[in-house]
Every structure is written in structure tokens, then in C-alpha cells.
Structure 1
Amino acid sequence: MKQERIAKIVLENGMEFTGKSFGYEQSVSGEVVFNTAMTGYPESLTDPSYKGQILVSTYPLIGNYGVPAPKKNEGLHTYYESDRIHVSALIISDYSFNYHHWNAAKSLQEWLIEHKIPGVYDVDTRALTQILREKGTMLGKILIEGDPDWYDPSGENLVKTVSVETPVTYGSGRTHIGLIDCGVKNNIIRQLLRLDTKVTRLPWDFDVSRESFDGIFLTNGPGDPKQCGATIDNLKKVLQKEIPVFGICLGSQLMALAAGADTYKLKYGHRSHNQPVQQKGSARCYITSQNHGYAVDPDSIPPEWDIYFENVNDGTVEGIIHKEKPFFSTQFHPEASGGPTDTQFLFENFINSIKSRCDG
């Protein structure tokens, strides 16, 4: 094995950490965020919502089960959430050079190098995470080869970079869903397809109000939702109709903005597999998978809308629902991948609302 190179992590507040390179050896800059999930690094690394971000894993041992081989079904990667790695870099405590899993085809190190993504291990991720919790997410650099300019992903429309450019259709079911792709995870499409649907994946700025669909789906995605002006304008027209609409994560924020509410950036976001949410007006609580840095301002929600779910830890809005029309959203991820599937029933609720409308 070749000699390991030292990698330096520099935060915008001037603090520095030192580790060892185990991925692609190049310097990068981005927003440093942390995730407290214990498993699911292939799913997390391929989640388009991480575009422009340097991901810190709080779980100490990463790489022990390797990475599965690329395999597709219905045109979608079976074990990945998109066609490529989207994080700018990965920071971990202990890297397992020896991996073992029945489905593993390569090591995490080989995968990172293949996709030209830097990886740094032997870092005090506990101390780094404590800083991010106290100070909030901040810009950072990983210095291995050269010194790049500081890069702030919130300053550009990241959704445009991860969305499809032309429509793509999956499945041939009875219910036709128009899916506005803001950086969709593959398992969202998988969950819809299992419910006898045909899903047409549309570019982020596609004017879906001009087309005829049985239901509209708003996906997750990276960055500041206010950068997606075209999507918000198109959604305003959709919300004037009666067609069922379901939004997840960024899709929830976009629905809120289109409805007249406001959004704001969280101090350090929610990125984990263990976020408890409570359905408003009930005693029902669910454990959810989450990955977002923005939230809906509860005081700005129009009177014709209700808060659907709330985060038990900090009280933030975890979904909104219209009082009369078939519109609802969740800030968390019912499709999981990775994480718990406690709220998978929301996909059935969406399809049932479509069927009720068609039967009526």
C-alpha cells in the first residue's frame, strides 16, 4: 500500500484538523455538515441533496461493508440513490481497509477514487461535530493538493445541476405521476412504482401546470429553495387546481414558498436516521430519516394550511397539509434509503388521494 498523505481540514472560522487521505487526492471546498446515521453510506453519498457539501460522519467506523456493485432495475440503480456520488468529500474517524459483505464488489476507497471524491480519515469527528453544532454549519476546505478558493453552495442554484434535462418515464401503471426532479432519490421513484404507477421525471423548471397528470410529486434536492424561482412560480399555478400534490424535503419547502410561506436556514440542519416527528394534533410519533438544512417558518404559514408534522427535538416544521385541497408534504424522507420505513404509508396516502379524486 502506498504511503498515506496528510490532509488538512480548514474551517472558515480558522480552526484546523489533520487527517489522512484515503480517497481521491485533490483539494476541495464546500459546506461542512454532519450526519449521525450508523449505516447507509452508499445511499448517503449518492443522495443529490448533498451536492456541494463536505460530509462528516459521526459514526466512527466507516467502510467495513464495502460498496455494492452497480445494478439497475427499471432504469434505476438498485443500491444507489442516483447515478453518481454527490458529496464533495467525506470525513470520518476510522476507515476500515478490510471490508466484508455478501453484496460488496469493491472498497469504499476504490469507489471514492473512481468518482474522484476526496476522503479523509483519522479525524477527531466528535470534536469537529461539536464545533458545527455550536457554531453552525460553515464553509471548509480539504487541503491535499493545492489550495482552492472558498466555495459557498448556497450561492447558486444547485437543483439545476442535479435535475434531469429532459423528461424520463418509468413504469406503465394506471396512475400517471408527474415528478418534478429537484434532485430525486431513486427510492422515491421505486416507492411510487410499486403502487401501480407510471412516473414521468421532469426537469426542475418544467411547467407541469400545462400537462395532464393524475398527481404531482415534488422531490428532495440540494441548496436553498429560494434559488428555485421557476419551480415556485410553476407550483403556484398547480396549487390553484385540485390535482393531488405530495412533496418531500426540498419539495416541502418549495410547496410552502408557493403557498405564500417563508423558509429559513437551520443552524446545523437535520441529517440522520433517528429524527422523531409527531403528527400534529395526535399522539402519533415516528422515527424518520432526514437530510436538510432549511425549514419552513411556522409563523408564515397561510391560514388555509396546517402544520402536518413537527420535529420532537426542536419543534421545527416537518410537513404541511392543506385544509381542503389534496396537498401535503413532509420535511423528512418516508422512502428512507437509508433509515427507518415507519412513514412509508404516506406514499399510499398520496395514491389513495388520487384514486379518490378519480372515483369522485
Structure 2
Amino acid sequence: MGETLKNTAVLILEDGSKFYGKSIGIYGISSGEIVFNTSMTGYQEIITDPSYKNQIITFTCPHIGNIGINKNDEESSSIHLKGIILKNLSPISSNYRSEKTLLEYLQEKNIITITNIDTRKLTKKIRKHGSQKGCIVCLKNIPKFKNYKEILKYKKLKFSNIIPIKKLKENILNQKNINFHKKYNKKINEKFLKIKKKHIVVYDFGIKKNIINILIQKKCKLTIVSKNIKYKEILKLSPDGIFLSNGPGDPRNFKNSIKSVKKLLPYNIPTFGICLGHQILALANKAKIIKMKFGHHGGNHPVQNTKTKKIIITSQNHNFVIDKKTLPKNIKITYSSLFDNTIQGIKIKNKPMFSFQGHPEASPGPHDASFLFNYFIKLIIKK
């Protein structure tokens, strides 16, 4: 069952605010950007999403863990986030698919977690003042830290928003329809490339497992490539389509990827971007990106088609967005958020290229936007 919640812990924000609670028995100090997620369920998929690298997740749902954990629902083989903030952690799980409790899982993965704090108060603070960094301190004897900077001096905390290639490879299941480019230290299987299936080159910035599953279900064969691959290497692979995956961090830092995608534009290869990939496609077309006040994180975000006015409910996880003021003439807005009117989808005019800010693979749900994968396949077939 795991160790009971008996250890004192404290969360200290950049502005000096302190929230006292309990740890789950994992000792240490962890620092990262705090974001809140409004999903009512799907906590396992959220925790294992690579896009949360170096962030600390606050779950607004007050009771987490009641359906347990199972291996099939992991979105990657590693947990990239820096910590978890909860109101109440369920000590038991009651679901026929459950293999272990959330408490056991977090202890097994050595994830620093603070519980029994006022997550409503914390969420309201972030909404009002915007995102900020914070530290979770779980020690047997917690020093009387005066502020956030004092913790950083106490223990040097460094982080990068880029996931190493080794970790990216670990995220991806070993399936027959997946091949790795040589940049992943694996040679291209020439027989693989001759298979008569739609061949998709996938830029892996921190891809979720369910995206891969869906593309394979659509009868695609995938060649996974690194973020730093040059466009000529892409062309040598003769792809039927290009996929730009989700991932963590500021898209403006992916300079090599942006340059590569920009060089590929004249070749009119059908291209689909999700989340970070959506932003990189925009940057490659000379749009600009801005950071949001507190981002979108949750499974209840309404998005509207700008042409048909049809509304879909989407899963979201991003802190950056395309700046409407800098939108070039060759980019058409296809979807907008009904929460704050931010850009949620774009299409490159006169090119078979489009992208979506939300997560149409929807793991966890909803699945309203899953049709975008079919649209991508239709573009490839038409091409």
C-alpha cells in the first residue's frame, strides 16, 4: 500500500507565498513552473505526458487516485514533470483495470508530491497573477526558508526544457510499424521503407504514446526523427506526410526544427502539427509566439471552427500561443478558443499543411477533435 501521509511538506512560490501540507514519503526538493490542470479524470495520462517536463502540476479536482494505475494508460515510459500538488490523495483504488494505487505508483517513480493543501486558493492565485515558479520541499527536518530564492541557494536546481534523445526513445513502444532514424543511433531499415503503407516522418519533440497508436491504426508506417534533423535527410526518406509532435518548453528555442520545417515548405508535403508542433509550423511561416498568462491545461476547453461555427470540446496542455497581431497573410485561422479567443488551429494557404493547438489524440478525452487525423490521411491520399 505504501507509506502513509505523515511527513510535513511545504510549497513556496516565487512571490514568497507558502502552503504547508503532507508529503507521500518521498524526500527531496523540486523546483519548476506551476500549472493547474482542470481535468476531472485521466490523471495517469496527464502525469506521464512528456509535455509537462520541468513543470509542477496542480490538480484542481479535489480527490485524485480513486481509479488507480495501469500500465496501458501511460503516455510515456518516463515521468518528466518535477512534482505534483494535490488536495486529497485516495488511499485506495476501485477499478477492474487497476494494477496499483496512485500512491504506490508515485513512490515507485520517486515523484515529489505535496498533498492536503488548498489547491483552490493556489489556482486562484495563478489565475490572477499568472504562472510562477515554485519549490516543493519534502524533508525530515524542513529549514525555515524565508523565500523561493533561499531554497535555490540551499540546493542547486537546474533544468532544461529539452528531453534527451535517449528519453524520447524510451517513450516509444517497440512496434512493427515504427522505425528510428539514424540520429537515434539506429540504422534505417530499407525493407521497412518499402512497405506499401502511408509513410509518415514524425518529428519527436516529446510525443505521446496515443498519437503513435492512432497513426498506426490509420495504416501508417512511422519513421521517428530527432528535432535537429536537417531537411535534406527528411527528403531522402521520401515521406508521404510529416508529423510535428507535441512536446515541452518554449517553441522559439527549437531553432533547428523551425529552420528544417521552413526549408520543407516548398515541397508541399502534407504536414500536421499538434501543440508544440502547431507552434513550430507557425514559426516556420514567420508568425510569432507569445507566452500566456497561465496557459490552458485541462480536458474541457471549447474550441470553435471559424468557418462552420461548429464547437468541439478539447484536451489542452500549453503555455504558449500564436500571436494574432503577427499572423502572416499565408496563414488562415481555422479554430479559436471560446475561453479567450486565442488561436487553436491554422492552415497554410495553398499548401496541404495544418495544425491544431489542442490534443486530438485525447488521452485522456474528450475525442471530439480526433477527426483531424482522418483529415491528415485524406491530404496524403489526395497528394
Question: More displaced, 256-265 or 81-90?
Answer: 81-90
Q: How does 1:272-351 map to 2 (within 5 A)?
A: 272-351=298-377
1:111 partner SS? helix
**Aligned counterparts, 1:13-162, within 5 A:** 13-22=15-24, 24-68=26-70, 70=71, 78-145=72-139, 147-148=151-152, 149=155, 156-160=160-164
Q: Residue deviations 1:250-276, cap 9 Å, x none?
A: 000000001110001000000000001
Is contact 2:54–2:161 with CA below 8 Å preserved after alignment? no
Instruction: Confirm whether residue 199 of structure 1 aligns to residue 222 of structure 2.
Output: yes
User: Normalising by the residue count of structure 2, what TM-score does the alignment of the two structures yield?
Assistant: 0.86
Give, in whole Å, the separation in 2 of the partners of 1:291 and 1:3: 29
Partner-residue secondary structure (3-state), 2:31: strand
Closer/same/farther in 2, CA of residues 23 and 62 from structure 1, 3 Å limit: farther
Q: Is the 8 A contact 2:303 2:313 kept in 1?
A: yes
1:3–1:55 CA distance, 2 compared to 1 (3 A): closer
How far apart, CA to CA, are the structure 1 residues paired with 2:35 and 2:138? 19
1:221-300 aligned at under 5 Å gives the runs: 221-300=247-326
Aligned-partner SS, 2:301:
strand
Instruction: Tell me if the contact between 1:30 and 1:152 (Cα under 8 Å) persists in the aligned partners.
Output: no
Contact 1:67-1:105 at 8 Å conserved across structures: yes
Structure-2 separation of matches of 1:317 and 1:210:
33
- Provide the aligned C-alpha RMSD in A: 2.0
Q: Which amino acid aligns with 1:350?
A: F
Matches within 5 A, 1:174-185: 174-185=197-208
The one-character-per-residue Cα deviations of 1:204-237 (angstroms, maximum 9, x if unpaired) are 1122244310000000000000111111110011
Q: 1:97 to 1:235 in 2, by over 3 A?
A: same
CA distance in 1, matches of 2:25, 2:31: 15
Distance 1:338 1:294, change over 3 A: same
Q: 1:348 to 1:39 in 2, by over 3 A?
A: same
The answer (yes or no) to whether the contact 2:279–2:322 under 8 Å persists in 1 is yes
Percent of aligned positions with the same letter in both sequences? 40
Contact 1:308 1:320 in 2 (8 A): yes
Q: Indicate which of 230, 236, 240 corresponds to 1:214.
A: 240
C-alpha displacement at 1:101, in angstroms?
1.1
Q: Specify the alignment match of 2:211 in structure 1.
A: 188
Residue 173 (structure 1) shift: 6.2
8 Å Cα contact 2:38-2:299 kept in structure 1: yes
Judged with a 3 Å threshold, the aligned counterparts in structure 2 of structure 1 residues 3 and 100 are, in CA distance, closer, same or farther, namely closer
1:55 and 1:303 mapped to 2: Cα distance? 37
What is the deviation of 1:23?
5.2
Structure 2 distance, partners of 1:227, 1:9, is 29
Structure 1's 150 and 283: CA in aligned 2 closer, same or farther, altered over 3 A? farther
Relative to 1, partners in 2 of residues 1:21 and 1:157: Cα closer, same or farther, differing over 3 Å?
Answer: closer
Q: Which amino acid aligns with 2:86?
A: I
Question: Whole-Å Cα distance in 1 between the matches of residues 88 and 339 of structure 2?
Answer: 29
Give 1:2 deviation, angstroms: 5.2
Do the aligned partners of residues 205 and 115 (structure 1) sit closer, same or farther apart at CA in structure 2, a change above 3 Å counting? same
SS of corresponding position for 2:283: helix
- CA pair 150-307 structure 1, distance change in 2 beyond 3 A: farther
Evaluate the alpha carbon distance shift between residue 328 and residue 3 of structure 1 in structure 2; reply closer, same or farther with a 3 A threshold: closer
- SS class of match (1:120): strand
Letter in 1 for 2:209: N
* Change over 3 Å in CA distance of 1:163–1:230 after alignment to 2: farther
How many residues of Structure 1 are paired with residues of Structure 2 in the alignment? Answer: 347
Pick closer, same or farther for the CA change 1:115–1:191 going to 2, 3 Å.
Answer: same
In 1, the alpha carbon distance for the partners of 2:65 and 2:4 equals 19
Find the residue that maps to 1:268 and give its secondary structure.
strand
Give TM-score scaled by structure 1 length: 0.92
Distance 1:24 1:173 in 2: 50
User: Alignment partner of 2:76: what SS?
Assistant: coil
3-state SS of the aligned residue for 2:340? coil
Structure 1 residues 152 and 3, CA gap change in structure 2 (3 angstroms)? closer
In the TM superposition, residue 157 of structure 1 has moved relative to its aligned partner by 4.1
What is the one-letter code of the residue matched to 1:292? Answer: H
Q: Which amino acid aligns with 1:8?
A: V
Amino acid at match of 1:233: K
Decide which moves more: 5-14 or 103-112: 103-112
Q: Contact (CA 8 Å) 1:31, 1:152: kept in 2 or not?
A: no
| SS of the residue 1:289 aligns to | strand
User: CA 1:23–1:351 in structure 2 vs 1: closer, same or farther (change >3 Å)?
Assistant: farther
Gaps of 5+ in 2: 143-150, 170-182
